[in-house]
Structure 1
Amino acid sequence: MIKLEKLISWFYLILAIIFEVSGTTCMKLSQEFTKLIPSIFIFVFYGLCLTFLTLSLRTIPVSIVYSIWAGLGTLIIANISVIWFNETLTLIKIISMFLIIVGIAGLNWES
């Protein structure tokens, strides 16, 4: 039973990341709140994100949840910005994304 609860918490964390990335993408699409639908979805997606983020804390320590949520969300958004919004991908961005991965791994090494 405990393993199932832990698995469900990881699923909640994945959902939180998906909704956070969706909300952040809608921020860009809302064009400073001038587009109604993306503006509404910002709040919907962030509400769902924080709900699932909170639920993931049932069995996963907050330091692990937050580092994975923030780090993976940042990595995914950085890639979406390059692919979808045609932002430039520089060597500094690539190195920085690599360091985020190293940081997440380092924070979660003991667990």
Structure 2
Amino acid sequence: MNSYGFLLLAIFAEVVATSALKASEGFTRWLPSTLVVAGYVTAFYFLSLSLKHIPIGTAYAIWSGLGTAGIVIIGMLFLKEGMDLAKLLGIVLIVLGVVVLNVFSKAH
């Protein structure tokens, strides 16, 4: 698997872990709490593998941008969190920032 594949796995694991964080109710429920810990361990493992070939700034920008967008979508679909113009604009700006870093930056 290539470094961007590892990065996508890291993002997926982080989104799963963060989604379970609310369900853990402050780590008082064992199953979601276990999912949180396992998800973050998995996320950092795959992030570390991706860093063999992706600069850390680029990897972290992609991870945080896509992770944030993923959590917003999870929140809307499953946690009854709303969407307004400010939230939408913020997500668009984050994603655009990641695109700018990856497409236009020459500092690799």
TM-score range, shorter chain: over 0.9
Residue deviations 1:11-34 (CA, integer Å, cap 9, x gap): 100100000001101101112212
SS in 2 for 1:87: coil
1:39 and 2:27 matched: no
- Counterparts of 1:56 and 1:13 in 2: how far apart (Å)? 5
State the match for 1:98 in structure 2. Answer: 92
1:14 and 2:12 matched: no
Identical amino acids, percent of aligned pairs: 37
SS in 1 for 2:80: coil
Alignment-mate amino acid for residue 70 of structure 1: S
Alignment of 1:24-103 (within 5 A): 24-103=18-97
| Cα offset, 1:73, TM superposition | 0.2
Normalised TM-score (structure 1): 0.90
Unaligned runs of 5+ in 2: none
| Cα offset, 1:64, TM superposition | 1.0
SS in 1 for 2:2: helix
| Cα offset, 1:107, TM superposition | 1.4
- Counterparts of 2:40 and 2:78 in 1: how far apart (Å)? 21
| Cα offset, 1:61, TM superposition | 1.0
| Cα offset, 1:69, TM superposition | 0.4
> RMSD of the TM alignment (CA)?
1.1
Q: How many residues get paired?
A: 105
Residue deviations 1:1-59 (CA, integer Å, cap 9, x gap): xxxxxx61111001000000011011011122121100011111100100000000111
